[in-house]
Amino acid sequence: MRVLVVGSGGREHALCWKIAQSSLVDEVFCAPGNGGIAREAICIDISSEDIPGLLRFTRDNAFDLTVVGPEAPLTAGIADAFRAEGLPVFGPEKAAAMLEGSKAFAKDIMKASGIPTASYQVFLDADTAKAFIKEAPYNVVVKADGLAAGKGVLVTFSKEEACAAVDEVMVRKAFGPAGNQAVVEELLAGEEASFIAVCDGDNVLPFASSQDHKRVFDHDEGPNTGGMGAYSPAPIINDVMTGAVIEKILNPLVWGLRKQGITYRGVIYAGLMITSDGPTVLEFNVRMGDPETQPLLMRCTSDIVPVMLEVAMGGSIRNSRLDFTGSPSVCVVMASEGYPGPIAKGRAISGIDAADAVEGVKVFHAGTRLQENAFVTSGGRVLGVTAVDRDLMGAIDKVYQAASMISFEGMHYRKDIGHKALTRLS
């Protein structure tokens, strides 16, 4: 069996690594891939957003399955194009991918389906949004409606901050066309967690729980990023909470989309705030999280290919299972100087092989490329150092031991990944 993975980040490296372990798979390709992925898959120089090029390559080379990693090609309709040609593709079609492509669409679906979420308003101009904020009886979060690589969410704690955030999104267009429309919603109190599941259009099959760390600096300070680290499992998501998420969020979502004529087939990611009233949805994503995928797949003991193939072929996962080791896993993202803002590229990286050699550690590449047989930086998030161990403290110690072996100019990373879970476990 030949599998093509679409994308170039740490999530796609983890997917290639895991898919290659399947007894069903003979060859793994990745388009376009990155320097580290090239060690484990055959990288093809086709952009993840070049849907016609990917379609031709897949059709001409008789792939048995295509797995789409990032959100941009999904919201652009890559799954529709592949299914129209009879090519098995794992990922939701364009109409379903609007759950991530438009926060306003997602909020409207949640409201219509009775899914718990923060109160909100959608705005097409900055002045109206600011007028609403000045009268709002609560602090707000300002969100660019469209895709913004995980950075288009601005949490504010005063009306002045909120109005400035509206200007940042809608006037200065810090996130480009994603800010043509904005969602302003109530700031919720609680602890965030990620809940990722596979959906076949009727049934949902959850992965283990995980928690992302969005803010760039320790103690959740600084601006939002695409994710600075993650761990799995998240102690705040116990069996009771898992049942509540499936019953009150994911099942109503699937049924609500069905009412609109949309069949959801692929990964569904619910970004949650666990409040005193239970799980509440902050956002939906239509793909695996990055960096949550890295610790999740390090813990996954199942072959994920049969599940992906079943969904891609339009089948049922009602009787499928995904099993996970009880050992926790922690991922620490090593970022370029300046991230999440403008960055420099082409800086030499040392120590990757030494870190990879630590027992229980895997270094997943996100923003790297090979230059004269050496790795150099090519993106904001460069590496996702990921460790698994018998307990959480062991995994944290191990991941930071490995991270300390890696070096590149301007490198920075959070030193507190997993500490929230330690507090809950103490």
In a domain, 98, yes or no: no
Give the SS3 label for residue 235.
coil
* Average pLDDT across the chain, whole number: 96
**Contact in structure between 367 and 381 (CB atoms under 8 Å):** yes
User: Residue 279: beta bridge partners?
Assistant: 274
Of 372 and 253, which is predicted with more confidence? 253
Rg (CA), the chain: 20
Same domain, 174 and 196: no
Neighbours of 323 (CB within 10 A): 10
Q: Is 382 left (phi over 0), alpha (psi -120 to 50) or beta?
A: alpha
What's the rounded Cα separation, in Å, for the pair 63 and 294? 25
Burial of 5 (0-12, 13-18, 19+ CB in 10 A): buried
Give the pLDDT confidence of 404-420 residue by residue, as tens digits.
Answer: 999 999 999 999 999 98
Residue matched to tokens 């040609």? 85
Residue 424 has a pLDDT of: 81
Question: Do residues 185 and 143 make contact, with C-beta atoms less than 8 angstroms apart?
Answer: yes
269 and 229 share a domain? yes
243 and 291 share a domain?
yes
Amino acid letter, 197: A
Of 144, 160, 180, at which residue does a domain stop? 180
Residue 318 lies in a domain: no
Residue 149 confidence (pLDDT): 79
In a domain, 186, yes or no: no
Classify residue 288: in a domain, yes or no: yes
- Per the structure, the complete domain to which residue 366 belongs is given by 329-425
- Residues 205 and 307: their CA atoms lie apart, in Å, by 9
Neighbouring CB atoms inside 10 A of 154's CB total 22
Give the domain CATH number at 175: 3.30.1490.20
In this prediction, residue 270 carries a pLDDT of 96
User: What is the per-residue pLDDT across 152-176, written as a single tens digit (0 to 9) for each?
Assistant: 899 999 999 999 999 999 999 999 9
Together in a domain, 162 and 129: yes
Closest CA to 248 of 117, 92, 346, 341: 117
Domain count for the chain, please give it.
4
Identify any residues that bridge with 65 across adjacent strands, giving them in sequence order. 3
d(CA 367, CA 339): 12
Task: Determine the pLDDT at residue 21.
Answer: 97
> Is there a domain that residue 320 lies in?
no
Q: Rounded CA gap, 72 and 97, in Å?
A: 9
Q: Are residues 27 and 40 in contact, defined by beta-carbon separation less than 8 angstroms?
A: no
pLDDT, mean of residues 291-313: 98
What percentage of the chain exceeds 90 in pLDDT? 95
Instruction: Supply the pLDDT for residue 148.
Output: 87
Identify whether residues 264 and 224 lie together within a single domain: yes
- Contact between 185 and 141 (Cβ < 8 Å): yes
Instruction: Say if residue 340 is in the same domain as residue 412.
Output: yes
**To 10 degrees, what angle do helices 251-259 and 103-113 make?**
100
The residues facing 191 across adjacent strands are: 274
Whether residue 147 contacts residue 97, with contact meaning beta carbons closer than 8 Å, is answered with no
Cis omega before residue 340 (within 30°)?
yes
Please indicate, yes or no, whether residues 295 and 246 belong to a single structural domain of this protein.
yes
| Residues 206 and 292 placed together within one structural domain of the fold | yes
Comparing C-alpha atoms, which of 420, 362, 354 is closest to residue 389? 362
153 and 53: one domain? no
- Report pLDDT for 342: 94
Give the pLDDT confidence score for residue 210 in this predicted structure: 95
Q: How many CA atoms lie within 13 A of 400 on its CB side?
A: 12
Q: Is there a domain that residue 106 lies in?
A: no
- Please tell me the predicted confidence (pLDDT) of residue 324: 97
301 inside domain: yes
Q: Provide the pLDDT for residue 373.
A: 87
* CATH code: domain of residue 375: 3.90.600.10
pLDDT for 2: 97
Question: Which of left, alpha, beta for 219 (phi over 0: left; psi -120 to 50: alpha)?
Answer: left
CA pair distance 148, 101, nearest whole angstrom: 9
Residue 300 sits in the same domain as residue 413: no
Q: What is the mean pLDDT of residues 357-373?
A: 95
Q: Are residues 196 and 280 in the same domain?
A: yes
Residue 423 has pLDDT above 90, yes or no: no
pLDDT, mean of residues 309-335: 97
Q: Does 169 lie in the same domain as 138?
A: yes
Asked whether residue 323 is domain-assigned, the answer is no
